[in-house]
Amino acid sequence: MPTDHAAQTPAPSQVLWREAFAFWLKLGFISFGGPAGQIAIMHEELVERRRWISEKRFLHALNYCMVLPGPEAQQLATYIGWLLHRTAGGLVAGGLFVLPSLFILIALSWIYLAYGQVPAIAGMFYGIKPAVTALVVHAAWRVGSRALKNAWLWAIAAAAFVSIFALQVPFPLIVLAAGVVGYLGGRIAPQHFAGGAGHGSAQAASGPALIDDDTPTPAHARFSWRRLTQVAIWFVALWGAAIGALAVAYGWDAVLTQMAWFFTKAALLTFGGAYAVLPYVYQGAVDQHQWLTATQMIDGLALGETTPGPLIMVVSFVGFVGGWTKAIFGPDALSAAGAVAACVVTFFTFLPSFCFILMGGPFIETTHGNLKVTAPLTAITAAVVGVIVNLAVFFAWHVLWPQGASGRFDGVSALIGLAAAIALFRFKLGVMTVVFGAAAAGLALRWLPPLLG
């Protein structure tokens, strides 16, 4: 229950454009800690301190974002920005959630490719790689502890792991199969496929909010089939114009066009967060298109973990490295090629997220009860756990046996990875602390060659 003081505090009268813009820009630079940390920041700022939206309406929007493919924290920012200031507000909120991370990653990617062989930089990445492996294991445990509630879901996770690890089944097919199993399981044994939002109960209210529990839906957020159709047409036209322009300018088989097509598909498969879709990105970017190497993929994830914004921003690194490696603008414009490719990949990765919010938001506003995760989505989430475990095995193999099965076992990397795992599981240290600690260890070891064999 709200305190007496909170109950007597009047709700904010309005949120000025410049005030909202300043907050969304600030959020883009401080949104560390993955989706849980990003959502916590928004809850503290928007619900408790600024009171732009009530607890109930905040969780209602969050529950919708959680059932969508794509980064839920970025979509939540888009949703709230849209509620406050219409379509332009949603585009600004969602865009500023991503842009700072994009610019930072472009700069870091350039440093990585231009100076990656410098001993200091190489040493830091030597330490970070085993820490990233520990982070992926921790992510699998974190998702699995919430998602695998019974033997049915454990079986789905195990089947997904075997499918992608031993049978090399494509990730989209695993998602589709899990959804079918979940649909059938929901009809046969619904009690085993019931899901929940998973973000805990509401906290105490801080007083009346601008968008409160009983605030009528704004005119621009009211549902109509006409509006839904118009938004869908606009987004399909925008996507078609963008990828069409690339195809006309460079050809369908060109690197930029293929990146646009590939990351459009990846954006529609990000159920369960970035860790779930990374195996699909690996299959396409490393194996199929050879835009980067497996080692560079691990390094990119390390950079993604140390920058603000959603972890799926690692795809911007993939784009930068691909544009640079393929020299799409010639050998004298590698930096420009990388930056353009990173921007193209980011655009096509996040365009569907904006579409889902601006299309579906008005429908969600027609009901203010909590949305339940469907049985197919519950099964997909279980399958995601198996896929993430496969990603951990993949990373561990490349980190601990860098020269392959016939090469030596890297015991120093194993010790760094073990220390990172203990820090995460036992001492609950944050991602940034673990990554920077591992980087410091790698830098120190780089200056002690005897220890590295």
pLDDT tens profile 34-49: 676 688 788 888 988 8
Please check the confidence at residue 416 and state whether its pLDDT lies above 50. yes
What the block records as the tokens of 187 is 């009809």
Token pair, residue 378, equals 């519950």
In this structure, the dihedral spanned by the alpha carbons of residues 77, 81, 87 and 89, taken in order and rounded to 10 degrees, is -120
Average pLDDT over residues 276-289: 86
pLDDT over 70 at 284, yes or no: yes
Provide the H-helix boundaries in 201-307: 225-250, 255-267, 274-282, 294-305
Alpha-carbon separation of residue 267 from 280, 304, 354 (angstroms): 11, 17, 11
Question: For residue 1, what pLDDT is reported?
Answer: 44
Residue-wise pLDDT tens digits, 230-265: 999 999 999 999 999 999 999 999 999 999 999 999
Q: What is the pLDDT of residues 222-238, one digit of tens each?
A: 989 999 999 999 999 99
Count Cβ neighbours within 10 Å for each residue of 72-108 and write b for 16 or more, e otherwise: bbbbbbbbbbbbbbebebbbbbbbbbbbbbbbbbbeb
- In this structure, what is the dihedral angle of CA atoms 401, 402, 403, 408, given to the nearest 10 degrees? -40
Return the pLDDT at 448: 67
Q: Is the pLDDT of residue 198 over 70?
A: no
Write down the residue that tokens 């980067």 correspond to: 292
Average pLDDT, stretch 384-395?
83
pTM of the model: 0.75
pLDDT for residue 449: 57
Tell me, what's the pLDDT at 450? Answer: 46
The per-residue pLDDT for 369 is: 46
User: What is the rounded CA–CA span in Å between residue 330 and residue 342?
Assistant: 17
End-to-end, the C-alpha distance of the chain in Å comes to 62
In this predicted structure, what is the pLDDT of residue 372?
A: 44
Reading the block at residue 133, the tokens are 């492996």
**Percent of the chain with pLDDT strictly greater than 90:** 42
The pLDDT assigned to 278 comes to 81
C-alpha to C-alpha distance for 299 and 126, rounded to whole angstroms: 9
Characterise 309 by phi-psi region: left (phi > 0), alpha (psi -120 to 50), beta (else). left
Over the stretch 140-190, which tens digit does the pLDDT of each residue have?
A: 887 788 778 899 999 999 999 999 888 888 777 888 898 899 889 888 888
